[in-house]
Each structure stands twice: as structure tokens, then as C-alpha cells.
Copies of this chain bind each other. A is one copy, B any other.
Amino acid sequence: MPKEVTLRDVATQVGVSPRTVSRVVNDEGGFSEATRQKVLDAVEQLGYQPNMLARGLITRRSGTVGLVGGGMTDPFFPALAERIQRKAREAGRTMFFASTDSDPARQADVLKSLWSHAVDGVIVFPALDTIDQLTSYARRGLPVVIVDDQADAPNLACVSFDLEAGAAMATRHLLDTGRSRLGMIASSLSPPRRRNRERGFLRGLRDSAAGASPPEVVRMLPTVEGGETGMGQLIDRRPDIDGVFAYNDLVAIGAMRAAKARGRRVPDDIAVVGCDDIDMSSLVTPALTTVRLDRPLLSEEVTQALHELIDAPGIPRDPVKLPVELVVREST
């Protein structure tokens, strides 16, 4: 990288000290309108860009935030990442993106790397059993926003959807539309603490007056393939199954494929409900009934929480739980 334009270059051109240029650039005050204009003109003319590394070295603010997710293969994530990135840029920060493949070790690497780049804060979709890892960083002073899990520490905020309520809604919807032999395809990547969907599913069943038969639950990787094998197993275990709630829409889509492959019609023979409401869900046939997670809302809450943690450190934040909504389409 060749020479860049520095504060000093601007300063000598204008005939002031670098410190004054710095004041103007950062709008600190303490300069006359006349010098302000001259400095800004020179900045424009020379094409000066502040060196964020130097600034970050001294202010301990790099103007960057990290977004750490399990992966981008689930379409839920990219759409969210894009919104978060937009909001970060509106707040004048640049986003580092990193995916962990849902692997705790990789997540550790990623956080180490982000830390050494002095990110101002991170938003994390945590991998399995990594809450301690995250609270440790938070305690060391890194603002952390955790999505879809709970923890308590300084510099830490939690935002999640009310998935338990969503799952209960989905279950009740299945029961209300006449299904009584239900199953669920859950995720093998969720530790017990985070099995809100399963809790909601069971609660929905318990709450229902109608005495539905005991449910089947299988746990799979949360992918289309996982949904396919999951549905296969459910049908094997309980051939008369007539309603399935899936961990997410990808799983649900896989489940519908498997059902069709086994000659069961959706929704006539078996109803399927997903969770997320990814773009694809309204495009498949039959269009998927699903629990919609409001991504604009989530990105709003998450970035706001992060920026508050960064700009006003120390003040504790209550965990946020966001409402969800059932979108009924053709698969039920």
C-alpha cells in the first residue's frame, strides 16, 4: 500500500497543526469557522481519509462490530445479516462477518480474531454450549449481544424470539384443524436449555382440552436433509401420524419432500408447520404454514442493544423477548 494522505499533509497544506485538523475532522470544537472551511477544503482536495487503525489504537474504538453466526446456508441468517450490516453502517460502523459452522472451537477462534482486531462489540448466534465463552469476553469488556439464548453478565444483552409461544401456537393450530397424532422434528444442535420450541410444542399439547395421543419427537440437523430423515423416522415410528411441527422452514420443507416421497399428501394426509418464514416457504408447493420470525424487528433490537452497550457501557439490560406470529398457508 503506497503512502496515504495523513493529518500532517492536510495540516501543512492549510498551515495549521495536525491537532487542529484532527479537531475539525472529528468536530470536537475549538476552531474558528474560517479554519474549519480551509481544513475541510484541503481534506476534500487531498482526499484525506482518517486511518482507523491509528485512531483505534489510541481510542480503543475501531469502528467495527462483529457478527458471528453458525453459517449462511440457512436462508434465515443472510437476510438478517444484511439488515444488521445496514444498521451498523448507518451508525458509522463497519461489520466483520464470521461464521462458525456451529462449532464451539471455531467460534472461539473467530472471537479471538475479532478481539485482536479490537471490534467494538459482537452479535453472536451462539454455538452449542458456548455461553461461558461469551460471558468471559463480556466480562473482559467486550459488548456482546446474544441472540436466542440467555446469560447474565456485564456488557451483555440477550435478544430472542418467543419461540415457546410460537411453537405452542403452531401446535394448537394443528390440533384446531383436526390433527391429533402429532410429531416434532427438533434440532440436534440445541442444548436442553435452548429447546424452547420443544417446550412450546409439549405445552401446546398439554393445554389442549382434546386428549391427543402422546407425541413423537426426533432430533436432526436443522437442514432440508435433516427434515427428510426426520419425517422418515416419524412415519416409521408412528404410521398414522397426521401433523408435524418442524424446527425451522428448511426442516419443514425436507419433511414435506419425504412425506410426498412416501406417498403421503400434504396437507390432506399430513399437515406440516415450519418456523422462521424464509422467502422460500411461500414459494414451495404446497406453500408452508409457519411461525414467522420478524427479522426487521430482530435486527432493530439487536443493533440497538449493541449500540447501547457500546455507547453507554455498564448499565444493565433486561433480556428482550420478541413476539412471533403464525402464518397459515397451504401445508395445514
Q: Residue A98 contacts which of B51, B85, B109, B116 (CB distance < 8 angstroms)?
A: B85
Q: How far is the CA of A52 from the CA of B49 in the complex (A)?
A: 19
Interfacial chain B residues near A283, Cβ < 8 Å: 224, 253, 257, 280, 284
The reply to whether B62 and A73 contact each other, CB–CB distance below 8 Å, is no
Q: How far is the CA of A95 from the CA of B72 in the complex (A)?
A: 14
Is A232 interfacial (CB 8 A cutoff)? no
Is A141 interfacial (CB 8 A cutoff)? yes
In the complex formed, the residue of B with least CB distance to A56 is: B53
In the complex formed, the residue of B with least CB distance to A109 is: B89
Is A208 interfacial (CB 8 A cutoff)? no
CB contacts under 8 Å to B, within A41-74, are: 49-54, 56-57, 60, 62-64, 67, 71-73
How many copies of the polypeptide does the oligomer hold?
2
Q: Residue A62 contacts which of B49, B53, B140 (CB distance < 8 angstroms)?
A: B53
Is A75 interfacial (CB 8 A cutoff)? yes
The reply to whether B52 and A117 contact each other, CB–CB distance below 8 Å, is yes
Is A99 interfacial (CB 8 A cutoff)? yes
The reply to whether A97 and B85 contact each other, CB–CB distance below 8 Å, is yes
In the complex where A79-B73, A280-B283, A283-B224 touch, is A52 in contact with B96 (Cβ < 8 A)?
A: no
In the complex formed, the residue of B with least CB distance to A3 is: B141
In the complex where A64-B117, A253-B283 touch, is A82 in contact with B75 (Cβ < 8 A)?
A: no
Q: Residue A116 contacts which of B50, B79, B253 (CB distance < 8 angstroms)?
A: B50
The reply to whether A113 and B96 contact each other, CB–CB distance below 8 Å, is no
The reply to whether A53 and B94 contact each other, CB–CB distance below 8 Å, is no
Chain B nearest Cβ from A72, distance in angstroms: 4
Interface string of A269-290 (1 = CB under 8 A from B): 0000000000110011100000
Interfacial chain B residues near A52, Cβ < 8 Å: 116-118
CB contacts under 8 Å to B, within A77-135, are: 77-79, 81-82, 85-86, 89, 94-99, 109-110, 112-118
Q: Residue A53 contacts which of B1, B96, B114, B117 (CB distance < 8 angstroms)?
A: B117
Chain B nearest Cβ from A63, distance in angstroms: 8
Interfacial chain B residues near A94, Cβ < 8 Å: 96, 98, 113-114, 117
Is A157 interfacial (CB 8 A cutoff)? no
Interfacial chain B residues near A79, Cβ < 8 Å: 72-73
In the complex formed, the residue of B with least CB distance to A280 is: B280
The reply to whether B82 and A73 contact each other, CB–CB distance below 8 Å, is yes
Q: Residue A82 contacts which of B72, B115, B224 (CB distance < 8 angstroms)?
A: B72
Q: How far is the CA of A240 from the CA of B118 in the complex (A)?
A: 61
Q: How far is the CA of A114 from the CA of B52 in the complex (A)?
A: 10
Sorted from nearest, which 3 A-B pairs have the closest CB atoms?
A97-B97, A72-B78, A78-B78
Contacts A49-B115, A53-B56, A63-B117 given; 9 further ones with Cβ under 8 A?
A: A1-B141, A53-B53, A57-B57, A73-B78, A78-B78, A85-B97, A89-B110, A94-B113, A257-B283
